[in-house]
């Protein structure tokens, strides 16, 4: 790894992890396309989709630890949500991460694009009054949450994602979890999910450890900073930032597939 390569990978990890900490996702929705397109554009490296997914899976494991740590005293981490959705997504992401070795690179990109498209649709469904519910009165269907998390984990594991970019819209629109609680809890769920997806990618021998190490360092620095900013921002701004990120990514991936 030369100096230019390290700087580019570090900046991708830092920017992606800062934004992901702010809006409560592991960051694959941001870092996957950045890793896929920016290094070859700058002439420093070229990764295939399986390698990008492997790097992302390992990096997200550490980025979500850092994000959850920043929320540890906020009172926004809902343990029931984390246990039900985290356990289900762990199983799904491990199976998806290991099973991705049987898919072509085109298939991995298509799975990613479909996930992003579904997430975009959910994010633009109105959810008025969502943040008026007191945090100690939040209720949701636990088994529906677990079932949706299992499905999201299977698909997210294929692309080396923690799954939060689809879980966050599900939590907001389907389960009606308030925005700040969703952001904090989704980071914890994504951490659990990343155990499965990273384990699957390691077993499938799809991880490039040099670039992954650089991104881990950047994520440990950036994710807590993003999480602290997210706690202070208007929830509507946070929702719009996430929606636009997912929309832009979906458009880019579909344009390359088609």
| Number of domains composing the chain | 1
220/70 Cα distance (integer angstroms):
11
Q: In this model, does residue 198 exceed pLDDT 80?
A: no
User: Which pLDDT does position 161 carry in this prediction?
Assistant: 62
- pLDDT at 144 > cutoff 90: yes
- Least confident segment among 8-17, 111-120, 146-155, 204-213: 111-120
Query: Which residue is it, tokens 């994602």?
Result: 161
pLDDT of residue 26: 64
- pLDDT interval class at 7 (50, 70, 90): very high
Give the domain range for residue 229.
3-257
Report yes or no: 10 and 216 within 8 Å, Cβ to Cβ. no
pLDDT digits (tens, 9 = 90+) for 20-60: 788 877 667 778 788 888 999 988 888 887 788 888 888 88
> So what's the pLDDT on residue 159?
67
Task: With beta carbons less than 8 A apart as the criterion, state whether 249 and 30 touch.
Answer: yes
Output 209 or 124, whichever has higher pLDDT.
209
pLDDT at 95 exceeding the cut of 70: yes
Q: Which two tokens stand for residue 104?
A: 């072509």
Q: What is the SS3 string spanning the chain? A: CCHHHHHHHHHHHHHHHHHHHHHCCCCHHHHHHHHHHHHHHHCCCCCCHHHHHHHHHHHHHHHHHHHHHHHCCCCCCCHHHHHHHHHHHHHHHHHHHHHHHHCCHHHHHHHHHHHHHHHHHHHCCCCCCHHHCCHHHCCCCHHHHHHHHHHHHHHHHHCCCCCHHHHHHHHHHHCCCCHHHHHHHHHHHHHHHHHHHHHHHHHCCCCCHHHHHHHHHHHHHHHHHHHHHHCCCCHHHHHHHHHHHHHHHHHHHHHHHC
Joined together, the tokens standing for residue 95 give 């199976």
Nearest to 187 by CA among 62, 58, 9: 62
Q: What is the pLDDT at residue 17?
A: 84
Q: What is the pLDDT of residue 241?
A: 83
> What pLDDT score was predicted for residue 120?
82
Cβ neighbors of 141 (< 8 A, separation 6 or more) are: 175
Q: What is the mean pLDDT of the chain?
A: 82
* Mean pLDDT (whole number) for 186-215: 82
Q: How far is CA 62 from CA 69, 76, 152, 195, in A?
A: 11, 20, 20, 10
Give Cα separations from 104 to 63, 110, 225 (angstroms): 27, 10, 36
Residue 63: Cβ-neighbour burial (10 angstroms; 0-12, 13-18, 19+)? buried
Summarised one tens digit per residue, pLDDT across range 204-233 is 787 888 888 998 899 888 888 888 888 888
Query: Residue 19 and residue 179: Cα distance in Å, rounded?
Result: 16
Percent above pLDDT 70 for the chain: 95
């Amino acid at each position: 790894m030369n100096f230019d390569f390290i700087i580019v990978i570090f900046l991708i990890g830092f920017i992606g992890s800062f934004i992901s900490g702010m809006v409560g996702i592991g960051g694959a929705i941001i870092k996957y396309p950045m890793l896929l397109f920016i290094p070859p554009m700058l002439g420093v490296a070229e990764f295939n989709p399986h390698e990008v997914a492997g790097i992302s899976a390992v990096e997200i494991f550490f980025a979500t630890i850092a994000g959850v740590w920043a929320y540890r005293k906020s009172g926004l981490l809902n343990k029931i949500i984390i246990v039900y959705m985290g356990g289900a997504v762990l199983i799904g992401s491990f199976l998806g991460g290991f099973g991705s070795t049987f898919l072509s690179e085109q298939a991995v990109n298509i799975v990613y694009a479909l996930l992003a498209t579904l997430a975009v649709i959910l994010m633009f469904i109105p959810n008025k009054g969502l943040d008026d519910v007191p945090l100690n009165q939040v209720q949701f269907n636990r088994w529906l949450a677990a079932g949706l998390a299992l499905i999201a984990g299977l698909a997210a594991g294929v692309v080396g994602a923690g799954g939060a970019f689809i879980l966050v819209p599900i939590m907001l629109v389907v389960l009606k979890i308030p925005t700040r609680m969703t952001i904090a809890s989704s980071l914890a769920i994504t951490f659990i999910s990343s155990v499965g997806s990273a384990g699957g990618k390691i077993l499938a021998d799809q991880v490039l450890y040099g670039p992954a190490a650089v991104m881990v360092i950047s994520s440990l620095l950036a994710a807590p900073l993003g999480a602290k900013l997210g706690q202070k921002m208007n929830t509507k701004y946070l929702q719009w930032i996430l929606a636009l990120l997912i929309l832009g990514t979906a458009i880019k991936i579909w344009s390359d597939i088609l």
